[in-house]
Each structure stands twice: as structure tokens, then as C-alpha cells.
Structure 1
């Protein structure tokens, strides 16, 4: 079965500093060779610390950023190097829910105008059918048709995110990229939004890339989870297997950082220490070695490939077998 979205060695680098004639400009390697496939109807979670490249990857997938190199196959077609005109048929099929519901909506436009805008750009329907579509979409996301005449500032953060979701699904897309869609919301609202996204997926057959730093939440919505560190996928696994038996020390440390109800409970693995290195100066060999308690000379010399651990579980660690055995990391 052909994946809906497949990435092959996808990179996105930014040139930093220097004047226009400078030959030795620094290169920020935000996305640095990502291989990934998302099946139709699947929810793939993408987790990692701030600064690991998750949002840059999302914006590259939606083609807000042009990839530096690599392939980006959408339904079998490589869209990595297409012009804006060539991208138009694909724009309708890929949409994005942004992290900040306050910054992602134009405060000078009414809710109706915000949701109608993509329909107008795509040339779908007339004024009457578009207004009917707005009312339908507001109902789907738990808002009332009366809300269509109001402005974004009149809503709470959770309601504004519902408006953003209604706009994202207005064109019946195949793929929706959710870039930390609940991180700016109250905890009491987060579960409501996640449940609504799951309902919409079942009703509309959507495919999600769900980006988050909340490992406790992503477990409940994602079929598979990818762990990202310094621009690369370091572990990819079915959701339950990742939590039950992580194969990368970075993943294991992230899981250890999840808050627990009993603060006196002893953790088998110490939470992650130190800060993520700069993508301007990525360490040699394994990029996690500067923070890894298992690091050896081999880790400094050779970058580990993403190897198959069985049953759809992949990890980029020289000692993944030891990590999975549960005896790899000290308390």
C-alpha cells in the first residue's frame, strides 16, 4: 500500500550570518535527513524537546518552507521542488492546525470570513453554499452558527482552536498536520480537543501528523510515534511498544520525565539532563552522545543508522538491544 506521505532523506538547512558575499556562512541543520512514511488514515505522533526540529519539519511538509534536499512524496508524487503554481492542487489536500490559536487567526476577520477564505481561494461553491458550509463546520467542532459573525477576540483559547480546526478541514483535506495544537490550552480543554480530533478523523477519514511535547497525551491519540532529536528521527515505533519497551536512551529519558502522581516514587531511569546542542554545531557521530550515559568512543566516531528492532520498531542507537533489555541505563 502506497503511503499517503513519504519522506526520503528530507533536509531543511538555514544559512546564518555573514553578508551576501560571505563564503563561510554558518549552516543551521534544522531538519537533517528524515526518512518517514505515514499511511492513509493513520495518526503519527512526533515528539521531542523544543529545538529538535519538529515545527520546522511540519512547515516543510506543508511547503511553507522549501526543502533543501530530499524527496517528499504525497500520494506518490514528489512535491519537494514544485513551484507554487504546481502546488495548488496539493494545497487543498494538506492543511495545518497551528500551535497558537491567538496568533493563527486574523483578528480583523469574522469567523465566517476566516472559514470561507480557503473555499473562495479554491473556487468552491457560491456565497450561499459557502455560508452553509461554515455553519456545518462550526457544528462539527462544537460551536454555534451564531458564532460566525463574531471576531476571534470574543472567544476563549479553546474556542479559537476549534475555529482553526474548522478552517483546516473546510476543504476536506487528506492530511492534517497538527503542530502542538493543545499546548497553549488549559489542561481542562486539552482532552476535549483531542477527543474532537479523533472523532473528526473517524468521520472524515483524515490522516494526522500530531506534533507535541506531551508524551502522556500523544500515547492516547497516535498509532505510531516518532522521536526526534537534533533534526533526525532517532526512534520510530507503534505507540504501545514505545512506552512498554523503548529502544533509545533519549526516548527512555523522555519517558522518565513524564510527571507521576506520587512524587516520592522511584524512577528506574533518571530524567534527561543537560541541554540540546545547537543545530549550528551538531556533535560528531551520534548526536545524542553528549547527554547519553551509554556513550562510548564508537558513538563519537560513527553515527548509528535507524535499524529495525522488529515488529515495526526502529531505533538509531549502537546499543539499542541493551536499552530494550531494561538493563542499559543506571538509576
Structure 2
């Protein structure tokens, strides 16, 4: 892993304007991603966790330019691609690929496996038909499938095999960045570890950089170098994986980690429970957006939004009382 950043997001915003009221006359703004600063180093795996609806997948789709960002900068290898036109963006699209959550929905059921994997090569104008056939066979072998599978259709495979096909398709163009959007959540538990181990092997072999989005807090610790925690459109904490698990600084991170099932309930990390429900991204609370559920919230939290600041050795948190919260956590451990 290098210290050189491959991806740098600066105050990235993605809002959606929705129609509301009679005949859709009223317009409301859904703040899916609301000012994210994030750095992904070349060759690392950055895990991204958070509750459903916090903006993880929207961030991923904006980063890969499936969504046009509302504002902010997205630096890819030092070049801002946020406002780049499609023609100029084409070379960068080859360097960014995505593995989707549902392998069946992401594969065209009317195309053979060979056609699915060869399609990115055809679009990019790489090779002729014969060389693409050879490349597809190599990719199938790389992800643990038999080249004889190339003539079959997606419905003839298991969920784990379909995800392997999706991975082969994602690495066909030798990308620098692969965004893994919940790549194992639709798979059986027995298959999840196989897919994650394969992703790690591919990273070592091909020098890939991963953004790994998941709800599985145990798995993300295994695969990630650093972990970011997202809440209601913003990163509220980011740290090296061991530091995050040993001393979480943000109350939201503590609550997430306390929810991990353990064999011995008495050994579970002691943490104050979250209150209430996640606010809507259409009406975000003032100040700290977690304050309505935080057991440590004060008047300051209601009036001033805390910045994401460094606490110690690459450990960042957006909390006015992060040091005190971390201290309580360490005393309770």
C-alpha cells in the first residue's frame, strides 16, 4: 500500500430534488451526500459502514460518475473528474469499476458469460474477437471458474458463481479502483469468506484499490486497512481498522460496534444505546446530525456542527466531545 492518494474527495455533495404535494408543485431536497471529505490511498482497502440510507451507495455511484455530483471535487490521481464531460471522462471510466450487491440483477440474463465479460473490452476497443476470447478464459480462471462456463447464461449459476462473474467483468480492463458495493450481502455465509479471500488475492496480484461498502462489521475489519463510518450523508469517523475497533471515538461508531453479535453476551462492549430513529435526509437536524440520538448531546451539539478533526495518528472524528466519549468507552471496556 502506498501513501499516495488515488482518490481524494473534497466537500463532495450529491442532492436530489424531489416533487412533493399536490401535483408535485412543492420541491424538497434530499441530501444523500452532504459534504464528504475522503482520501483513498493507492493499494489500500477503505471500508465504509453505516446504517441503510446513510448515503454509502450514493457516494459510490457519484464517485464512479453514475450520478453527477451537485458540488465539490473528486480528484482521481490528482485530476478533478467531478465536472468532466463524457469524452474526457472515458479514460478514467476504464480505471474505475464496480461490483454490485445483487449479482443476478447486475448481469444481463440474455447474454452469455463470455459476452458479459467481453463487453467492457469491446466498448473500450481492446483487441479483436480472438484475443478477447483468450482474455475471457483467463479472467474466468482467475476468479475460480471453468472456461467451459463461458457459453452458459447467468441463471445457470449459483449466487456465488454469479458474483465471481461480476468480479471478472469488473477487473477485465485492469482498473486501478474497484468499488465493492455490498458484494457479499446477497451470498450464503459459507460463500462470503471465499469471495472476500478472492478479492484480497486479486488485490495483491493486480495492485487494486478497493472501496468496500458493507453492513458486516466483522467482515469489514478483516478486509480493510482503514474504516470510515457514515451517518446521514457525512463521514463521522475514520481510522485504521484496529484503532477504530479498540477505541471508537464517535458515539455512533460505539453503538454500531456494540451491536456486533458475540458468543459471550457479557463480553460485549458496554455502550450507551442509540435513541429514536434515523432522521430523514430531507430534514437534517441542526448542528451535529447525530445529536437527536446521542446520549451525550448538549446545547453545543444542537447549534454547531462538529468538523471532522484528527484525534490521534490518522484517527478522525466529527464530535465535539470525542476525547471524552473515547475516555468513557475505554473505562467501560
Range into which the TM-score falls when normalised by the shorter chain: over 0.9
Uncovered stretches (5+) of structure 1, i.e. residues with no partner: none
Deviation of the 1:330 alpha carbon: 8.7
Give the alignment's Cα RMSD to 1 decimal: 1.9
The separation in 1 between residues aligned to 2:13 and 2:331, in whole angstroms, is 31
> CA separation in 2, counterparts of 1:320 and 1:327?
10
Describe how 1:3-42 pairs up with structure 2 within 5 A: 3-18=5-20, 25-42=27-44
CA distance in 2, matches of 1:257, 1:139: 39
Kindly indicate whether residue 252 of structure 2 is the aligned counterpart of residue 250 of structure 1.
yes
Q: CA deviation at 1:69?
A: 0.1
Matched, 1:80 2:54: no
Distance apart, 1:83 and its partner CA: 1.4
Q: Does 1:219 align with 2:216?
A: no
1:301 aligns with 2:303: yes
Aligned to 2:165: 163
Report how far residue 7 of structure 1 moved. Answer: 0.2
Q: 1:65 aligns with which of 50, 64, 67?
A: 67
Q: Partners of 1:320 and 1:303 in 2: how far apart?
A: 13
Deviates more, 1:71-80 or 1:22-31: 22-31
- Partners of 1:293 and 1:329 within 8 A in 2: no
Secondary structure of the residue aligned to 2:215 is coil
Structure 1 length normalisation: TM-score? 0.96
Whether the aligned pair in 2 keeps the contact of 1:238 and 1:312 (CA below 8 Å) is yes
What is the aligned length?
Answer: 331
CA distance in 2, matches of 1:3, 1:31: 21
Q: Which runs of 5+ in 2 are unaligned?
A: none
2:106 aligned partner: 104
The 8 Å contact of residues 254 and 272 in structure 1, kept in 2 or not, is answered as no
**1:146 alignment counterpart:** 148
In structure 2, C-alpha distance between the alignment counterparts of 1:291 and 1:165, rounded to whole Å: 38
Aligned to 1:132: 134
Separation in structure 1 between the aligned mates of residue 312 and residue 217 of structure 2, nearest angstrom: 23
Q: Deviation of residue 307 (structure 1)?
A: 1.1
The aligned residue for residue 118 of structure 1 is: 120
**C-alpha displacement of 1:85:** 1.5
Shift of 1:84: 1.4
**Hey, what's the Cα distance between the residues in 2 that align with 1:159 and 1:182?**
12
Alignment of 1:169-318 (within 5 A): 169-263=171-265, 265=267, 267-318=269-320
Instruction: Output one character per residue of 1:251-309: Cα deviation in whole Å (capped at 9) or x when no partner.
Output: 00000000111345554114544321100000000000011000111100000001110
Per-residue displacement from partner, 1:104-124 (whole Å, max 9, x unpaired)? 000000000000000000000
Q: Distance in 1 between matches of 2:194 and 2:39?
A: 28
Q: What are the superposed Cα offsets for residues 85-120 of structure 1, whole Å, 9 maximum, x if unpaired?
A: 221111100000000011000000000000000000
For residue 205 of structure 1, report the CA deviation from its aligned partner: 0.2
Give the whole-Å Cα distance in 1 for the aligned partners of 2:332 and 2:272.
8
Alpha-carbon distance between aligned partners in 2 of 1:205 and 1:328, rounded to the nearest angstrom? 37
Q: Secondary structure at the match of 1:25?
A: strand
Whether the 8 Å CA contact 2:272–2:295 is kept in 1: the answer is no
